[in-house]
Amino acid sequence: MSTPAGPLTGLKVIEFAGIGPGPHVAMLLADLGAEVVRIDRPGGGVMNPVVERARNRVTADLKSEEGKAFCREAASKADVLIEGLRPGVMERLGLGPDELLADNPRLIYARMTGWGQDGPLAQAAGHDINYIALTGALDAIGKAGETAVPPQNLVGDFGGGSMYCAFGIMAALYERERSGKGQVVDAAIVDGTTSLMSFFFGLPKSAVRTTERGKGLLGGASHFYRCFKCADGKEISLGAIEPQFYAELLARSGAPAELAEGQMNPANWDEYAQKMAALFVTKTRDEWCELLEGTDACFAPVMQLDEAREHPHMKARGAFVEHDGAWHTAPAPRFSRTPGAVRSSADNGADVVAGWTKG
């Protein structure tokens, strides 16, 4: 495993193996220099080499006294612990926050779950689709008159989950600089996703500003904030909300002149969308890119994941990194003095922990 780099160099993190948002939190910290030891269960292995990169790995049986002793010793030397088990499981193993914070009062104990540590649903199984359904986020996604469409697991697991957990960890570390004390971070996907919905809660309700499925300016109903199919079957995206950007879109695309009036009137949107669809199907996606990309028309091609890696802007930004013969997403965000880096994992976690100093 290469030498850590980045603004979190020196931060010691214990990650209990899991799936989804927990490993993503550990990846975010590791990319920015944290030294992460991932504790795998016997028989476990690498499920996702991109998300599980930059780890020191060790296998421990959490039901054995030897395995529990190792975990307690590791936690006593760590700055951060990340676990995503069902509420109460870590307590039954003797590895709950009360025990581990008693050994290491400076420990930040991050708990990543869907429903949270308490509440009527805390002990129920669930996945991203269920968590975002409860928050009102899923209800807003899809076409009018059809069932809601799950947006992969981006909104819940990673948007409302891992990003808020990572933010909570950094906030707790900042507070620890003043108090000298660690604490528990209860990161629940339902809480984070609800926070993501703040913008919509604060909007005055109207036909333009609505979360009703398939309606509203941002929900796919407007002709200037949606995707259209091109002559080659590929798609482009438009986001020309502001009048000056909308005017540029119409001028550069050669759209019918009547579309210049009544942009924000929802009564026009269906008809205008049909005219825009008829326009965009006359050229290929690449031809539309030649006309519109890089202008103030608020335009971008809809890229497949493998295509995105080859786009000139993404290549110029270094958004994807080739490492050990495979492609990885680049560390984010970026830092001027202490940049993060993609690093390999190694099976030397126990040796690393043995070298850590307590507290």
CA 80/CA 75 separation, integer angstroms: 8
Instruction: State which fold the 12-197+320-355 domain adopts.
Output: Rossmann fold (3.40.50)
Q: Which of 39, 42, 41 is nearest to 71 (CA)?
A: 39
Percent of the chain clearing pLDDT 90 (strictly above): 96
Cα 266–chain centre separation? 32
pLDDT reading at 187 higher than 90: yes
CA 250/CA 54 separation, integer angstroms: 47
A 10 A CB-CB count for 250 gives 20
What's the helix, strand, coil split of the chain in %, to 5? Answer: 40, 15, 45
Same fold, 12-197+320-355 and 235-301: no
The model's pTM is 0.95
Residue 37 and residue 14 in contact, taking contact as beta carbons nearer than 8 Å = yes
Which 8-state DSSP code applies to residue 214? T
The catalytic residue positions are 127, 157
pLDDT digits (tens, 9 = 90+) for 292-337: 999 999 999 999 999 999 999 999 999 999 999 999 999 999 999 9
Q: Name the residue ranges covered by the structural domains of the chain.
A: 12-197+320-355, 235-301
Radius of gyration of the chain (CA): 24
CATH code of 235-301, in short, is 3.30.1540.10
| Mean pLDDT score across all residues of the chain | 96
pLDDT digits (tens, 9 = 90+) for 327-356: 999 999 999 999 999 999 999 999 999 999
Q: Where are the beta strands (DSSP E) in 9-167?
A: 12-16, 35-40, 55-59, 80-83, 108-113
pLDDT digits (tens, 9 = 90+) for 206-261: 999 899 999 999 999 999 999 999 999 999 999 999 999 999 999 999 999 999 99
Buried/exposed 88-127: b ≥16 CB within 10 Å, e otherwise: eebeebebbbeebbeebebbbbbbbbbbbeeeebeeeebe
**In the prediction, which pLDDT does 44 show?**
87
